[in-house]
Amino acid sequence: MTLKRRIAINIAVAFSILFGLAAFIIFYSFSSFRREEFRQRLEEKALTTAKLLVEVKEIDNQILKLVDQNTINKLYNEKTLVFDQNFKLLYSSIDDATISWNVEDLKHLKREKSFFRSEGEKDVLGIYYDFEKADYYILLSAEDKYGINKLDFLLFTLVVTFLAGTILVWFSTYFFIERLLKPLDNFQKQITNISVNQLDIQLEETKHNDEINLLTKAFNIMLARIEKAFQNQREFTSNASHEIRTPLARITFKVQNLLQNPEHSPETITSLKSINDNVHQLSDLVNSLLLLSKFNKEDAQKRFEKIRIDEVIFSANEQIKKSNPQFFLNFEIIDHESLELSMEVYGVRSLLEIVFINLLKNACLYSTTPQAQITIEQTALHQLQIKISNQGDTLSTTEQEKLFQPFMRGQNANKANGSGLGLRLSKRILDYHSASIEYSIEEPNTNIFTIIFSN
């Protein structure tokens, strides 16, 4: 979940909770107010009835009923009962409504002086009235029809307002959050497009002193530092490679001159040849590092061109034979009638030569016989598949997992010279070309490297 959505959801949820709590408090307060107001109305009516019945001698029951029937503030579905101190009914209004009561209610009323309760849709009020040392009990029930309607309307209004407000806040919050964080989106898009060749660019800064602008400033400072570090690294690799190549060339020249001297003993000749092989290996490694220091993935892809992979393999084979004249390469092309075989791939010729030189050199050094088999085949997915195999000791499962790591050498390399960087460099170059390389063992004592180019 994105940061914008998380912020918008948190704000909307907080608003919904607060709005819902406020709506509940309003509804509960109005409900309590409605109940208390209706209780006061019932109490006023009960006292008025008691006074007219008890204190005004000229008013009998029939007149009081007539007054109740025509009163201006007549309550809906009202019923009034008046009892004397012996719990005898003195007065009952003419309404058809009924009040559920018993003697215990009147006794409770004498003790508590009043009570107020709800029975279904009705509210019932009981009042104890004392006049001239005589006890009177008034029970009055009615329905607060108008108050309930107002309460229902308030509930409907609050629910609709809550839903509409919640929906509005959810959408508006996401809109405003998206607008506020738009600079962060622009920042993300800019840094996503930055490559190794664009470390010198500066992201656009604003005049606002907010966190996003501070982040942009910090990122620009970091870019400058990274660009300087990359530049120093490239300069060091390039300069070091150039400086190393000179003494290596001198050593090679002197060793070759010494090898041409027939006066040396066989032991000396063997040592000189070993030195010569090591110098050639070191020279190849320096050349590879120098070439890689000039390119990164973006630089390499800019120099891509159509090249024939068979020509690259033959050129690499010639390089191997210079140092290993006994090496033999068996080259095979598998042609399917249903598929059109294309030997052309997009890439940098000099870099791909390094890949096949390293693989063929390994096939020569780590084989029981100095020979290798290369098979080229077009797959059904229009991919160019190249298999390089040789006979020799295979790698264990643990060694296979670390095969393309720097300076990794298997147990079968104990008697062969090497740096452990060849396969790592080869994989890096193939990554530049969006190609893959895998090691497998399809037959006993058979090492197979499979390279796949996606055309």
Q: What is the CATH number of the domain that holds 47?
A: 3.30.450.20
Most confident of 328-332, 340-344, 422-426: 328-332
Classify residue 18: in a domain, yes or no.
yes
* Number of domains making up the chain: 3
Residue at 356: amino acid letter: F
* CATH number (domain holding residue 438): 3.30.565.10
Residue-level pLDDT at 25: 93
Say whether both 355 and 211 belong to one domain.
no
Say whether both 66 and 206 belong to one domain.
no
d(C-alpha 142, C-alpha 63), whole Å: 21
> Using an 8 Å Cβ cutoff, are 373 and 327 in contact?
no
Please check the confidence at residue 416 and state whether its pLDDT lies above 80: no
The residues pairing with 377 across neighbouring beta strands, listed in sequence order, are 334, 385
Mean pLDDT of the chain: 79
Query: Would you give the distance in Å from CA 56 to the centre of its chain?
Result: 83
Per-residue pLDDT averaged across 425-445, rounded?
87
Domain extent, residue 331, equals: 296-454
Query: End of a domain among 128, 154, 180?
Result: 154
Say whether both 26 and 125 belong to one domain.
yes
Question: Nearest Cα to 181, choosing from 205, 212, 207, 202?
Answer: 212
- pLDDT per position as a tens digit, 138-196: 888 888 888 888 888 999 999 999 889 888 888 888 888 878 777 777 777 777 766 66
- pLDDT per position as a tens digit, 113-141: 888 887 777 888 888 887 777 777 888 88
Say whether both 277 and 321 belong to one domain.
no
Classify residue 218: in a domain, yes or no.
yes
* CATH number (domain holding residue 223): 1.10.287.130
DSSP-derived 3-state class of residue 237:
helix
Residue-level pLDDT at 200: 63
Q: Supply the DSSP string of 53-94, one letter for each residue.
A: HHT-TT--HHHHHHHHHT-TTPPEEEEEEEE-TTS-EEEE-S
Please check the confidence at residue 455 and state whether its pLDDT lies above 60: yes
pLDDT bucket at 58, cuts 50 / 70 / 90: very low
Residues in Cβ contact with 184 at an 8 Å cutoff, skipping those fewer than 6 apart: 3, 212
Classify residue 186: in a domain, yes or no.
no
Say whether both 266 and 358 belong to one domain.
no
Say whether both 273 and 338 belong to one domain.
no
Say whether both 308 and 401 belong to one domain.
yes
Most confident of 86-90, 197-201, 391-395: 391-395
Residue-level pLDDT at 338: 61
Say whether both 139 and 218 belong to one domain.
no
Please check the confidence at residue 41 and state whether its pLDDT lies above 80: yes
Say whether both 215 and 338 belong to one domain.
no
Residue-level pLDDT at 288: 65
Question: Nearest Cα to 314, choosing from 350, 357, 278?
Answer: 357
Question: Nearest Cα to 109, choosing from 140, 69, 137?
Answer: 137
pTM of structure: 0.50
- pLDDT per position as a tens digit, 277-289: 778 777 777 776 6
Please check the confidence at residue 257 and state whether its pLDDT lies above 70: yes
Classify residue 164: in a domain, yes or no.
no
Residue-level pLDDT at 72: 42
